[in-house]
Amino acid sequence: MKYTTKSVLIARMPRIGENEFKTASIKLFKINDAHKTEELPTETFEYENIEKIIIKNIEIDYYLEGNDLIINNLEEINIEKKGNVIEIY
């Protein structure tokens, strides 16, 4: 599904119940570097039992002080769940 957004924060959350894999959290923001502010996400998605996230053709910043990926300077993003994999492009 396609979303209009300026930045995305991708994080992992604990497993739920007897799931084999962790839960993926994807948050959309209307500003860059929203993790440095008190800005609330415009949308939040949580996907249970996700083995991996594939990110295609996007510039990514990874901050070693945390576990999250930040994607800035976007106009729109596509998020598709295929089984226990999420594709972002």
- Residue-wise pLDDT for 37-73, tens only, equals 999 999 999 999 999 999 999 888 777 877 899 999 9
Q: Is the pLDDT of residue 27 over 80?
A: yes
Q: What is the pTM of this model?
A: 0.92
Straight-line distance from the first to the last Cα atom of the chain, in angstroms, rounded to the nearest whole number: 10
H helix runs in the chain, sequence order? none
DSSP H or E run through 80: strand 76-82
State both tokens at 7.
């930045």
State both tokens at 48.
């249970």
The total number of structural domains in the chain stands at: 1
Domain extent for 46: 2-88
Q: Is the pLDDT of residue 10 over 90?
A: yes
- Look at residue 61 in the predicted model and tell me its pLDDT: 77
- Look at residue 63 in the predicted model and tell me its pLDDT: 76
